[in-house]
Amino acid sequence: MGHGSLNDVVQASYLVATFLLIIGLKRMSSPRTARSGMLWAGVGMLLAIAVTFAYLPGVYRLVGSLEDLGGWWPRLGLILAAILVGGVPAWWSGRRVPITEMPQMVAIYNGLGGGAAAAIGAVELYSGRAYLGSLAFPLIAVVGALVGAIGLGGSFVAFLKLQSWMGSPRVIGRNLINGILGIILLALTVVSVHPAWISPELLAVDSLIGIFLLVSLAFGILITLPIGGADMPVVISTYNACIGIAVGFEGFVLQNPAMIIAGTIVGASGTLLTVLMAKAMNRSFGNIWLSGFGDVRTTVAAGPQRTMKSLDARDAAASMAYMEDIIVVPGYGLAVAQAQHKLWELMQMLQKRGVRVRFAIHPVAGRMPGHMSVLMAEAGVPYDLIFDLDEINSDFANADLALVIGANDVVNPAARTDKSSPIYGMPILNADQARQVFVIKRGRGAGFSGVENELFFGPNTQMVFGDAQDVISKMIQALKEL
Amino acid sequence: MMTGFVALYIFLIAAIAGYEIISRVPVILHTPLMSGSNFVHGIVLVGAMVAMAEARGPLEVTVGFIGVVMATSNVVGGYVSTERMLEMFKSKKENA
């Protein structure tokens, strides 16, 4: 192996940094300690990066002395430049992007981590260092690069979909294309592990690795392309876990214990999070990946012509003022309209009038698991008013009103009854069982999954059409005048 | 230098630790945690810097440069976005 062992100072620092990262993640598991947990993790990360940076001249001398490229200082300058080129836009975009667009930002930052893992693998393979020693090294370097590059391509598609810059195009014969590409990729993977199996006149190692990475990237894009936007939380979570493993693998190639441990912990926790999410949607992991929502289009259009009853925002507010028990069901539309603060203001006004107000959170409402919890927390809604699906579902039957704001698929009764529906079997909030249902909705279209919602045509349902921000502002005005 | 088996033990124990950490997280923290674990695999920057310091020749240096750029985006973006999500919890606690 061309790698010198890390010196003791570096090793000890990595030990402390890894400890801080683990404790940080652990502290993030409770709302009270979450912020301090992030600080711990941040300090650990900074320590690992600073120590590595200080140690770089040693690394360079070890290898660079063989074939000097203008000396150490230009190289250090180049590394610093790369850090600035990557760090400044990320810092700027992370600060600036509205909180509703965070899911896609997480997707893109995540994908770039995968790309970095692939780049490490590529450098180690190009240099030939990964080919020294046992076959385990090139194998792990190649698999790590493969997973990282797939994660980069897939996360990029997830970003485009969440940003609504891309739909779910139907590719004719995509299973065949993916199958053929998959076989090519498998062959490239095997050959990349042991290039001696292929004649160098046919394909030089450098070109081989380049083609291998490009095909991996394309494969990641293609397998994510047909999956509908509603499944993106599961997709992002899957890639997050995969990229953690890729980082762990490249850590093994570099003999870097901090990377191995941090990467593997993300791989394990990310896998569990993915399973929890898929479970909340009552869909199997394989189902999401092999037949995305986007593929299924139900033809409910046939049948009796149905109408939605619409209601004026002011009238809705007036009737809410005289109710006793209201359950609010927030959805993605609320996040898009940025109406969470107004909503809480409205609910506080109702509380002062003696109305019991509670918030029902569906685990996959929005574009990320717990997205709505974050939104409610931002608005300042106390935890004891926020309820999970299991905690509150039986209470809808006794509630005067279910106020559905910009939510659709998570309250669609078809999930309980219609076996042909693509969302059949997904646990939903039983908003339809409340005595009355008000739905604040921008337009008359179907939900993100493309499925018509029976709830909107229900006998006790009234629709308040409009942007959530406008509608709720009108409601607040109406209550003030009451 | 680590032998394959030592690495396997590390993988095993780290995997169990990761599983334990998340199995106690309430739904309300799932999004920040997803973002936080995204930040944690930003440790890849450490490896990207080493790979770039080791790189020889224009091809390796170019790929190493791209690697450091991407890794830095991961770690910086991951930190900023998680911090912003968790800030909401703070403002909430003060209101309550």
Q: Are residues A222 and A124 in the same domain?
A: yes
Contact A42 B51 (CB under 8 A): no
**Which distant-in-sequence residues (6+ apart) come within 8 Å of A111 by Cβ?**
A151, A152, A153, A154, A155, A156, A158, A159, A239, A243
Whether the per-residue pLDDT at B45 is higher than 80: the answer is: yes
Specify if A26 maps to a domain.
yes
CA distance A59 to A123: 14
For residue B81, CA distances in Å to A47, A103, A166, B35, B58 come to 20, 9, 23, 7, 34
Specify if B22 maps to a domain.
no
Q: Are residues A345 and A454 in the same domain?
A: yes
In this predicted structure, what is the pLDDT of residue A443? 77
Q: Are residues A215 and A334 in the same domain?
A: no
Out of B15, B34, B72, closest to residue A264 by CB: B15
Specify if B1 maps to a domain.
no
In chain B, the residue whose alpha carbon lies closest to the alpha carbon of A10 is B46
Instruction: Please compute the mean of the pLDDT values over residues B75-91 and round it to a whole number.
Output: 83
For residue A291, CA distances in Å to A174, A242, A446, A451, B78 come to 11, 20, 20, 16, 30
- What is the tally of structural domains in chain A? 2
Q: Are residues A414 and A290 in the same domain?
A: no
Q: Could you please report the per-residue DSSP string of A135-169?
A: THHHHHHHHHHHHHHHHHHHHHHHHHHHTTS---P
Q: Give the range of the structural domain holding residue A465, as residue numbers without chain letter.
A: 313-481
Specify if A173 maps to a domain.
yes
Location of structure tokens 């912003």: B84
Catalytic, A409? Answer: yes
Give A-chain residues touching B35 at CB under 8 angstroms.
102, 106
CA distance A136 to A141: 8
Q: Give the range of the structural domain holding residue B63, as residue numbers without chain letter.
A: 28-95
Contact B18 A67 (CB under 8 A): no
Q: Could you please report the per-residue DSSP string of A72-93?
A: HHHHHHHHHHHHHHHHHHHHHH
Out of B53, B69, B84, closest to residue A59 by CB: B53
Specify if B45 maps to a domain.
yes
The ipTM value here is 0.92
Specify if A307 maps to a domain.
no
Q: Are residues A279 and A330 in the same domain?
A: no
- Residue A473 sits at the vertex; the CA angle it makes with A472 and A475, to the nearest 5 degrees, is 60
In this predicted structure, what is the pLDDT of residue B93? 43
Contact A31 B81 (CB under 8 A): no
* B39 to chain A, closest Cα gap in Å: 8
* B5 to chain A, closest Cα gap in Å: 11
Please report, rounded to a whole number, the percentage of residues in chain B having pLDDT higher than 90: 45
Using CB atoms and an 8 Å cut-off, which of residues 363-422 of chain A contact chain B? 363, 368-371, 373-374, 377-378, 380-383, 386, 388
Q: Are residues A440 and A319 in the same domain?
A: yes
- What is the tally of structural domains in chain B? 1
In this predicted structure, what is the pLDDT of residue A86? 96
Contact A393, A319 (CB under 8 A): no
Q: Are residues A249 and A216 in the same domain?
A: yes
In chain A, the residue whose alpha carbon lies closest to the alpha carbon of B87 is A35
pLDDT per 10-residue tile (average), chain A, 482 residues: 64 94 88 88 96 86 60 86 96 87 90 97 91 88 96 94 77 81 93 82 84 96 83 87 96 92 93 78 70 44 62 91 94 88 94 94 77 83 88 92 91 84 81 93 71 84 91 93 84
Residue A436: enclosing H or E segment and its boundaries?
strand A436-441
Q: Are residues A69 and A143 in the same domain?
A: yes
* Helix/strand/coil for A127: coil
In this predicted structure, what is the pLDDT of residue A178? 86
* B43 to chain A, closest Cα gap in Å: 6
In this predicted structure, what is the pLDDT of residue A301? 42
Q: Are residues A281 and A393 in the same domain?
A: no
Specify if A204 maps to a domain.
yes
Q: Could you please report the per-residue DSSP string of B48-81?
A: HHHHHHH--HHHHHHHHHHHHHHHHHHHHHHHHH
Q: Are residues A162 and A38 in the same domain?
A: yes
DSSP state of A100: G
Q: Are residues A276 and A392 in the same domain?
A: no
* A130 to chain B, closest Cα gap in Å: 12
Catalytic residue (one of A68, A390, A409, A467): A409
Beta bridge pairs of residue A405: A330, A440
